Structure 1
Amino acid sequence: MADFKLVVSDSKTGKAYNIDIAGPKTAKFVGKAIGTEVDGEAAGLTGYTLVITGGSDKDGVPMRGDLPGQGRRKVLVSGGIGYHPKEEGMRRRKTLRGNEIAGELVQVNAMVKEYGPKPIEEIVPKSEGAGKKKKEEKKAANAAKK
């Protein structure tokens, strides 16, 4: 079974929440395409409806909505997801993934379409961000130097 992180974006609050999906719950996501609505129950968000907006695999290769299938492809692109040209008219061959969720993905992005009875902040356990941990480690190291 594929295990991945589901990043749920809440447009009302402007926050994103990381939810680990493992085991049989991943079956509700695998095979779905970008733009597909998924019941939030699979992620532990009862009453919520989520829309899949993208994702990436272990190497950081992003999914692109206009490529069918699950696999990686080398595609000549002139802009959009996966490539942002520095000058107008520039094109480049980039490796991109298709628009279907596969078992090789590490991160799947989704946004809330319909809200449930409880706010997401109450449902998802709050985890301390990596940025806060690094700041605390720097403070402790500076205090030790003095």
Structure 2
Amino acid sequence: MNKDGTIIIIEDDTDDQFILEQVFDELGYPNEIIYFPDGQSALDYLLGDIPPPFIILSDINLPKLDGLSLRKKLQTDAAINLRCIPYLYFTTALNQQAVIDAYSSSAQGFFVKPAKFEDIKDTISLIVDYWKKCAAPNNF
């Protein structure tokens, strides 16, 4: 896990992207943030010759390639799996089947987007701080 790497956010709602940008600005993490509006553009980027990202925050309902399908495609790529990139869902799509499907694809977390800015900020802080402290096989 590359703790200094890019934070990938896959979110098609521009209002949510704007709020997340404000959240990350206020939290002051040094990681670069890259936004993708759909799963396919994120997949194309992740399959490219890039430094390993730190974490991926993905919505479930996305155009072109939804978050669940994206996760499954990334799991089939051995090189990406060896990078130990945490894949977390950050979505409003809360239903039991979505949570089951997410964890069936070995997601490392499923978070429902809170409605209030401060709650979003608290959630993002918890996620990033947890993964910054977490050990991974390629951290040694």
Same fold (TM over 0.5): no
The structure in which a higher percent of residues are helix is: 2
Given the two structures, how large is their TM-score scaled by the length of structure 2? 0.22
